[in-house]
C-alpha cells in the first residue's frame, strides 16, 4: 500500500473559526436591529398626537384659553403652540405658560377630561429688593 501524501491527508480547514465568525456576524446583525429600534423610539416625540385609529377609542380633551393677548407666547408642556383652542391627551397632566413682551406671565397646571376653558390673566411678577443708601453722610450733633 502506498501511503497518501500530506495534501490528501491534511486536516480540514478550521471549521470552528468559521462558525465563530458567523456567530459574530449574527450578533452584529441583531445588535444593529436593536440600535435601530432604540433610535426610532428616541426620535419619536412622546407628546405626539395619536393617529385617527388610536384617537377613535379615546377622544382628545379640548382646551380653550380665554383672554390671551395678541402677540403672546403660549407654551404647552414646554412646546410653543399657536392656537388658543387645542386638544390634549385626556387623563394626563399638562402645563401651560403664557407670556408677553412686557414680561407678564401666567402659568397653570391642569388635568383635562372632556373640554375645559381657562381664563388667562397676565401678571407682572414682583421681587422685593432691599437697598441701603450708599455714600450717605452721618449727621453729627
**Do 21 and 69 lie in a common domain?**
no
The per-residue pLDDT for 75 is 93
pLDDT digits (tens, 9 = 90+) for 12-26: 555 555 656 778 788
Q: 75 lies in which domain range?
A: 52-119
pLDDT at position 110 over 80: yes
Asked whether residue 68 is domain-assigned, the answer is yes
What is the spatial distance between Cα 77 and Cα 7, in angstroms, rounded to a whole number?
75
Asked whether residue 5 is domain-assigned, the answer is no
Confidence band of 79 (pLDDT split at 50, 70, 90): very high
Work out the average pLDDT over 85-108.
90
Contact predicate 51/103, CB 8 Å: no
DSSP H helical segments within 3-127, as ranges? 15-43, 52-55
Those residues with Cβ within 8 angstroms of residue 77's Cβ, 6 or more apart along the chain or in another chain: 47, 94, 95
Asked whether residue 135 is domain-assigned, the answer is no
**Do 22 and 75 lie in a common domain?**
no
**Do 61 and 114 lie in a common domain?**
yes
Work out the average pLDDT over 56-79.
86
Amino acid at each position: 500500500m502506498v501511503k497518501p501524501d500530506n495534501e490528501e491527508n491534511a486536516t480540514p480547514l478550521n471549521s470552528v473559526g468559521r462558525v465563530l465568525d458567523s456567530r459574530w456576524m449574527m450578533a452584529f446583525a441583531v445588535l444593529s436591529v436593536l440600535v435601530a429600534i432604540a433610535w426610532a423610539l428616541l426620535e419619536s416625540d412622546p407628546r405626539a398626537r395619536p393617529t385617527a385609529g388610536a384617537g377613535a377609542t379615546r377622544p382628545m380633551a379640548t382646551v380653550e384659553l380665554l383672554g390671551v393677548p395678541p402677540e403672546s407666547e403660549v407654551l404647552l408642556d414646554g412646546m410653543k403652540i399657536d392656537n388658543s383652542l387645542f386638544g390634549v391627551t385626556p387623563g394626563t397632566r399638562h402645563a401651560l405658560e403664557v407670556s408677553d413682551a412686557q414680561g407678564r406671565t401666567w402659568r397653570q397646571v391642569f388635568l383635562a377630561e372632556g373640554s375645559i376653558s381657562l381664563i388667562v390673566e397676565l401678571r407682572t411678577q414682583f421681587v422685593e429688593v432691599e437697598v441701603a443708601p450708599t455714600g450717605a453722610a452721618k449727621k453729627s450733633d
